[in-house]
Structure 1
């Protein structure tokens, strides 16, 4: 029988973006706080706390949980701003790399994971999802994920479903360009022309963003921003690799929970929204 999860536990997910903001403000080794939390503290606590079937109270108002999502949206933009400010402070190279890793790790959670929840909705929440994906230069994820991955997950037609014979690095290097191409194919399949559709518009937005960053802050900020984007995307595709590795279904079969590896680790469930 599942137990009810005290809702405040879900606020733990805010620790990552908050640690990025504080770390980038303080500088030096503090910029690595989020990386330490994500790669050391969280895995250790997952082992200590174990697994559980914790669930949200069925009679709970969605306002609390939605508020957490919008807190992530706000903190994501503050984190990116703090990162740019840190880069402009001309830090030592090792601290710059550490800040890039931490900010990218946070972008993978507050950016892409939260965006994944919001892009399945309509109206204002969906636009918030777009804004989050914009901070990771992965706007095409919406088309490919919602209209492609959901339909073809667990089949050879889904670039986000890793085959058993593929290693992690090979998967990441191939799935990223394949998903980008798939997003264009999906948009053209909706009756759009080859170059004028949502995916092409998103690409232009991302390119203009890089141009804007260059003229406002210089090439160093552009490379740093792309670096944190790369970390966030790598985190996403790492999760995709783990969740769907080696699981296959016939394209005619219905999508079921059996084509995703699931984890009931308590802390991860709280942190990953």
Structure 2
């Protein structure tokens, strides 16, 4: 299956304002910080160790506490880093296999933590509240694993693409591998994209639209690919079915090992995990829209079509996912090489804080709607509007005078 690739004639992004020319022996200042991303799949081990040591059941909730309380504070305290790797360093950064191992190691920790979690949940020593907390902790690991799968799934090496689908098995979200690469990256920041949130659309309305829309889109894309090759959609060559089969094998093996009573918890952690992915999706393109060209096609995706954040903590734990504009310009570019764009719209904080805002629609709209409007110079008609709220948005914001 072909994956998006860098176009040879794609212009390089400008260096951040005030960035110096590349020294001959430039080193990534975040080089060793990327290992901190492995703390996330270690959450179940941390929960177990801290609870055993202190006797406090609150540590079974390590995942939600870190993701929703600690990370937003740390993001704010550490602040931002908008520095870019110099152009002359990118080739060496891309070739350095150290960065790949930072993502590869996520998977053995992810699945050993899942096995530990299943054992702890089913052995009978935990209260119902403790089991819920541990289930959400497992779901947090699974949700961030989708981001790891995202990094791996964009690469051209067969090993990384296989590991991507393995990382997705815990959440039954293997279809993401197809839809994200061949659907979202084509339709991003358009009304047709189920993963691009619209101005005026709450996260709770976006969630069912993106979950169902992404699933059906992935199936149609795979059906079209197989039809072109003269194969049936119900064949072993169907990437979506193969990915779901991995999930079925995983859940069956865990149910056989720990009993069928583990299945409700496995289901709950999977749902929490993919909802965590989708709330991040919600933040990434909210209200942003590509305009149509005179030919009727959408303009090429540009930095202005993605919300970015240079908050260091979230970027380290999410493999630079917040440098989303460069990712859409160069989908196969590795996370350590992604760059800041001065022209990209900037979120007020990192993803950790933004997802908390997204859960409360009035707060989200108060913070983000004015930013969308400012991004379009006050002309709300240029934004990607939620159809049921279109009249209300036009009545509230009107439209700016025509440009030019």
Is 2:43 aligned against 1:19?
yes
Structure-1-length-normalised TM-score:
0.92
Residue from 89, 95, 117 that aligns with 1:83: 117
Distance between the aligned counterparts of 1:7 and 1:56, measured in 2?
12
Partner of 2:276: 235
| Distance in 2 (alpha carbons) for counterparts of 1:56 and 1:108 | 28
Q: Secondary structure at the match of 2:105?
A: helix
Count of residues paired in the alignment: 272
Give 1:2 deviation, angstroms: 4.8
Is contact 2:189–2:196 with CA below 8 Å preserved after alignment? Answer: yes
Counterparts of 1:115-126 in structure 2, within 5 Å, are 115-121=149-155, 122-126=157-161
Distance between the aligned counterparts of 2:212 and 2:128, measured in 1?
29
| Change over 3 Å in CA distance of 1:25–1:220 after alignment to 2 | farther
In structure 2, how many angstroms separate the alpha carbons of the residues matched to 1:189 and 1:94?
A: 46
Q: Alpha-carbon deviation of 1:56?
A: 5.2
Q: Residue 135 of structure 1 aligns to a residue in which SS?
A: helix
Q: Deviations over 1:59-94 (max 9, x none)?
A: 546222111111112211111111111111222111
Which among 42, 66, 77 is matched to residue 48 of structure 1?
77
For 2:131, which of 72, 89, 96 is the aligned residue? 96
Match in the other structure for 1:200 = 241
Aligned-residue offset at 1:218: 2.5
- Specify the SS of the correspondent of 1:11: helix
- Residue 114 of structure 1 is matched in structure 2 by 148
Deviations 1:86-110 (A, max 9, x none): 111222111111111111112222x
Question: Residues 19 and 201 (structure 1 numbering): CA distance in 2 closer, same or farther, change over 3 Å?
Answer: closer
Structure with greater contact order relative to length (CA < 8 Å, sep ≥ 6): 1
What is the aligned partner in structure 1 of residue 387 from structure 2?
none
Higher relative helix content: 1
Task: Report the CA distance between 1:208 and its aligned residue.
Answer: 4.3
Pairwise CA distance, 1:24 = 3.6
How far residue 45 of structure 1 moved from its aligned partner, in angstroms, is 1.1
Which residue of structure 2 lines up, in the alignment, with residue 29 of structure 1? Answer: 58
Aligned to 1:64: 98
Q: 2:308 aligns with which of 249, 255, 262?
A: 262
Question: 1:147, CA displacement in angstroms?
Answer: 0.8
Aligned partners of 1:12, 1:155: CA distance in 2, in Å? 35
Deviations 1:133-191 (A, max 9, x none): 11221111001011111111111221101111311011112211111111110011111
Provide structure 1 residue ranges, at least 5 long, that are not aligned to the other structure. Answer: none
What SS does the corresponding residue of 2:256 show, helix, strand or coil? helix
Over 3 Å counting, the alpha-carbon distance change for 1:236 and 1:215 in structure 2 is same
Greater Cα radius of gyration, structure 1 or 2: 2
> 2: CA distance between counterparts of 1:211 and 1:102?
21
Matches of 2:255 and 2:142 in 1, distance apart? 21
Q: Hey, what's the Cα distance between the residues in 2 that align with 1:248 and 1:220?
A: 46
In the alignment, is residue 165 of structure 1 matched against residue 200 of structure 2? yes
1 CA distance for matches of 2:177 and 2:270? Answer: 16
Unaligned runs of 5+ in 2: 1-17, 21-27, 52-56, 320-404
Indicate conservation of the 8 Å contact 2:170/2:250, yes or no: no
Mapped to 2, the partners of 1:6 and 1:161 lie a distance apart of 30
Residues 174-189 of structure 1 mapped to structure 2, 5 A cutoff = 174-189=209-224
The answer (yes or no) to whether the contact 1:23–1:32 under 8 Å persists in 2 is yes
Aligned to 1:153: 188
Indicate if the aligned counterparts of 2:149 and 2:163 stay in contact, CA closer than 8 A: yes
The answer as to whether partners of 1:2 and 1:54 remain within 8 angstroms in 2 is: yes
Contact 1:87–1:220 at 8 Å: present in 2 too? Answer: no
